[in-house]
Amino acid sequence: MTTLVVLSVILIGLLIAGLAFYLFIVGSQLTRIAGLLEECSQIVWKIKADAEAVEPGVERINSTSGVIAGALPLLYGMAEGIVAGATYEPAEPREPVPARPAMGTRRSRLHDAVGYHPE
């Protein structure tokens, strides 16, 4: 019975050591993640400060785009009227002609070399 108790105590000790090692690894990873999140939060605050300078211009752009969006139907109608008479009509396709040599029919000198005259 003593051996069983000793082995149980050793096993419990190993289990506690394994859990402590696991918690150490998880804690170090969480510490690293916290540092990265802190850097990210500083970047986000910097982006927010830069965006505050742009905000008035964005409001002006939005109001201008609203005016343009209101004029689009009128512009579209005018463009349709202009394009109606200028529609491209492709030409009818022609029958392809075989390529011909520029100097006419070619004559082989090989026939002359062997003494053959086809005429």
Q: Is 85 helix (H, G, I), strand (E, B) or coil?
A: coil
Rounded Cα gap, residues 28 and 102, in angstroms:
83
pLDDT at 32: 95
Strands (E), the chain: none
State both tokens at 34.
Answer: 């916290």
In this predicted structure, what is the pLDDT of residue 61?
Answer: 86
pLDDT in tens, 1-16: 799 999 999 999 999 9
Please give the pLDDT value at position 113.
Answer: 72
Comparing 16-30, 36-50, 77-91, the range with the smallest average pLDDT is 77-91
Q: How far is CA 73 from the centre of its chain?
A: 33
Per-residue pLDDT of 63-106, as tens digits, reads 888 888 888 888 888 877 777 666 677 888 888 888 776 666 66
So what's the pLDDT on residue 28? 95
Q: Name the nearest CA neighbour of 107 among 96, 95, 116, 99.
A: 116
The pLDDT of residue 107: 64
Contact (Cβ atoms closer than 8 angstroms) between residue 108 and residue 114: no
